[in-house]
């Protein structure tokens, strides 16, 4: 059965709308069916990620009409959207807030902002569920396994390929890292979020925000999609089985709505199991929408680390027997989001972003290793690992809401690092940056740490990246204005410099220059040693590039 989320949202909306229309008419909040449909689409595409489908809030604030927050004496300190009212909501949506809400005045028209302000004062719709049968019915094998090549049929250096999200066209570009040529543009789900590699490096798994998971075979003469499945209505994460003996056997994808994850066969995406993540938060309250955030495959056990955003529960899902699935549930902190491995790949560090904490899970013991207090809204991407001259091995995260990059000391069994044990799981340094950082990155062959500031409200900063010398972090950072360095004509809309990604050898850093849908975007390739531009990859088809995933680095979790 095929369903579009907007269509299904419309159905459930009608029931709610019928009940609430009368009460809301007096307040001038009634909406026509067409207005509601348009608002729902915008909400799904632009708002649901941070505020949740049920609008209960996560990274973003609660947006229910009648919600209120009380202090310990029971006094109401914050009200819901009805209390904020039309004018205030229009200002917040248009100009953003110091609390981290971005401004939408360059994305939405004045009319759309007014429409959304009205929409969120109406009662949220409850979207439909999505069953195992729905998942199975959506599954398509485009090239069966026995019709696929048995060896690599092209002569590309696949290790240095990049899978690049073309956000607004619902595609990924497969770019040859050696020649910088686009080898294939593949139709995928809407606003693809991430690409991940199979253990073998042959398959790329690409998840769209609309829940469409595409499997790309890099061995084909022209790499293309060989299987597809829709795992939910709204999704962000995917990974594969990487433990010895299970390579390429399974894939797992996490859904925001409905809140559940799906286990599939790795080479066909045939759904095998759907598991709901609804349940209790770490504070002991039931949550109806605990979305699946980052997922990563352990190297030391046949397990996935599955991070549940709203509940703050970290699940270790044992895939050695998926018929009799065993899961370890580790309580950490609410609002789990993105994260990455430490240098030893034993500890997974994940941001509990709206709790201002980093949770570290020990995948060897299956226990929480630490819960580290950090500055406002940590946002590591996968983070960055390097050896600090004074504190030894550290893992770095940037912040959306603070002007620092935080360095956390991580444990090591290497005898030469015994002297640093006293620092483990402590914030050993905060390097001065600017707010609005999304991603940090380094590479074992590099001496540099890169950080973007793509969500900074200042255009110059949003278009720039910062680079530190890891051997001496007291040296002033280099600030590279990627938009200017690209040599492309200046545009009125911000071209956000986002997501540094290294080439396989660690010698180049690729930065997306993410412009508007009708502006020419680009990928700017820097020489990591000299910080000079090596190449600007533009093409009329290069529309809104965001995440870039180097095959080798992603396959081996190198960052």
So which residues are the catalytic ones?
47, 50-51, 101, 337, 379
Q: How far is CA 377 from the centre of its chain?
A: 14
Shortest Å distance, C-beta 434 to ligand DHE: 16
The interface with ligand DHE within residues 428-447 (CB under 6 A) comprises: 438
The 3-state secondary structure of 86-139, one letter per residue: HHHHHHHHHHCCCCCCCCCCCCCCHHHHHHHHHHCCCCCCCCCCCCHHHHHHHC
| 295 interacts with ligand DHE by CB under 6 A | yes
- Count of positions (residues) in the chain: 559
- Closest to ligand DHE by CB, 294 or 409: 294
Sketch the per residue contact string, 60 through 99, with ligand DHE: x for CB under 6 A, - otherwise: ----------------------------------------
The region of 15-23, 187-195, 358-366, 475-483 touching ligand DHE under the rule CB under 6 A is 187-195
**DSSP codes of every residue in 4-43:** -HHHHHHHHHHHHHHHHHHHHHTTT----HHHHHHHHHHI
Inter-residue contact 52 to 291 (CB < 8 Å): yes
**Buried b / exposed e across 122-131, counting CB within 10 Å, b at 16+?**
bbbbebbebe
- Closest to ligand DHE by CB, 391 or 559: 559
Shortest Å distance, C-beta 349 to ligand DHE: 12
C-alpha radius of gyration, the chain, whole number: 23
- Closest to ligand DHE by CB, 346 or 382: 382
- Tell me which H or E stretch contains 48: helix 48-51
- Closest to ligand DHE by CB, 102 or 274: 102
Among 40, 61, 167, 249, which residue interacts with ligand DHE (rule: CB under 6 A)?
A: 167
- Closest to ligand DHE by CB, 170 or 392: 170
What does the angle CA 153 – CA 157 – CA 160 come to, to the nearest 5 degrees? 135
Inter-residue contact 536 to 489 (CB < 8 Å): no
Q: Which residue is it, tokens 């009805």?
A: 82
- Closest to ligand DHE by CB, 50 or 126: 50
Shortest Å distance, C-beta 155 to ligand DHE: 28
- Closest to ligand DHE by CB, 302 or 340: 340
Inter-residue contact 503 to 550 (CB < 8 Å): yes
Q: Which residue is it, tokens 């051997």?
A: 471
Residue 253's CB is within 10 A of a number of other CB atoms, namely 29
Rounded distance, CA 557 to CA 559, Å? 6
The region of 5-13, 189-197, 272-280, 465-473 touching ligand DHE under the rule CB under 6 A is 189-197
| 545 interacts with ligand DHE by CB under 6 A | no
| 193 interacts with ligand DHE by CB under 6 A | yes
Which residue's beta carbon is nearest to the bound ligand DHE?
49
Count of residues interacting with ligand DHE (CB under 6 A): 22
The region of 147-155, 173-181, 293-301, 320-328 touching ligand DHE under the rule CB under 6 A is 293-301
The region of 35-43, 105-113, 269-277, 291-299 touching ligand DHE under the rule CB under 6 A is 291-299
| 550 interacts with ligand DHE by CB under 6 A | no
For 496, the 3-state DSSP assignment is: strand
Inter-residue contact 357 to 343 (CB < 8 Å): no
| 272 interacts with ligand DHE by CB under 6 A | no
Inter-residue contact 240 to 227 (CB < 8 Å): no
| 118 interacts with ligand DHE by CB under 6 A | no
For 369, the 3-state DSSP assignment is: strand
| 293 interacts with ligand DHE by CB under 6 A | yes
Residues that bind ligand DHE (CB under 6 A): 49-50, 59, 165, 167, 191, 193-194, 236-237, 293-295, 337-338, 381-382, 438, 498-499, 546-547
């Amino acid at each position: 059965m095929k369903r579009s989320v907007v269509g299904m949202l419309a159905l459930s909306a009608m029931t709610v709308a019928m009940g609430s229309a009368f009460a809301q008419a007096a307040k001038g909040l009634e909406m026509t069916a067409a207005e509601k449909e348009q608002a729902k689409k915008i909400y799904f595409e632009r708002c649901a990620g941070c505020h949740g489908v049920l609008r209960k809030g996560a990274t973003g604030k609660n947006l229910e009409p009648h919600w209120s927050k009380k202090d310990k004496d029971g006094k109401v300190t914050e009200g819901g959207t009805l209390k904020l009212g039309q004018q205030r909501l229009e200002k917040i949506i248009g100009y953003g807030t110091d609390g981290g809400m971005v401004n939408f005045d360059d994305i939405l028209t004045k009319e759309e902002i007014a429409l959304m302000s009205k929409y969120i004062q109406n009662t949220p719709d409850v979207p439909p569920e999505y069953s195992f049968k729905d998942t199975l019915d959506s599954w398509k094998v485009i090239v069966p396994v026995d019709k696929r090549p048995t060896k690599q049929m092209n002569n590309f250096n696949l290790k240095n390929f990049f899978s690049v999200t073309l956000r607004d066209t619902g595609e990924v570009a497969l770019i040859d890292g050696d020649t910088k040529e686009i080898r294939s543009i593949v139709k995928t789900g809407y606003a693809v979020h991430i690409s991940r590699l199979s253990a073998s490096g042959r398959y790329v798994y690409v998840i769209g925000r609309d829940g469409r998971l595409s499997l790309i075979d890099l061995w084909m003469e022209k790499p293309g999609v060989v299987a597809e499945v829709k795992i939910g209505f709204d999704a962000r994460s995917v990974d594969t089985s990487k433990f010895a003996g299970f390579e390429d056997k399974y894939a797992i994808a996490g859904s925001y709505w409905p809140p559940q994850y799906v286990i599939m066969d790795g080479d066909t995406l045939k759904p095998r199991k759907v598991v709901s993540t609804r349940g209790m938060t770490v504070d002991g309250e039931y949550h109806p929408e605990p979305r699946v955030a980052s997922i990563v495959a352990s190297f030391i056990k046949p397990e996935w680390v599955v991070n549940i955003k709203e509940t703050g529960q970290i699940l270790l899902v044992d895939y050695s027997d998926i018929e009799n699935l065993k899961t370890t549930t580790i309580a950490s902190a609410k609002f789990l989001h993105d994260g990455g491995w430490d240098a030893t790949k034993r500890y997974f560090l994940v941001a509990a972003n709206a709790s201002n904490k980093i949770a570290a899970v020990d995948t060897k013991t299956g226990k929480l290793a630490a819960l580290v207090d950090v500055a406002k809204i940590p946002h590591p991407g996968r983070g960055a690992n390097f050896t600090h001259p004074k504190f030894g091995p550290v893992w770095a995260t940037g912040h959306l809401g603070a002007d620092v990059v935080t360095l956390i000391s991580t444990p090591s069994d290497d005898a030469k690092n015994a002297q640093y044990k006293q620092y483990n799981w402590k914030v050993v340094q905060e390097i001065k940056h600017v707010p609005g950082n999304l991603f940090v990155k380094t590479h074992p062959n590099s001496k540099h740490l890169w950080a973007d500031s793509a969500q900074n409200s200042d255009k110059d900063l949003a278009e720039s990246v910062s680079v530190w010398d890891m051997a001496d972090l007291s040296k002033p950072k280099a600030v590279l204005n990627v938009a200017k360095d690209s040599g492309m004509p200046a545009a009125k809309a911000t071209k956000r410099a986002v997501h540094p990604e290294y080439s396989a050898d660690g010698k180049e850093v690729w930065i997306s220059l993410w412009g508007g849908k009708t502006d020419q975007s680009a990928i700017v390739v820097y020489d990591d040693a000299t910080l000079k531009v090596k190449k600007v990859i533009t093409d009329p088809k290069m529309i809104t590039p965001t995440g870039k995933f180097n095959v080798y680095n992603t396959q081996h979790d190198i960052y």
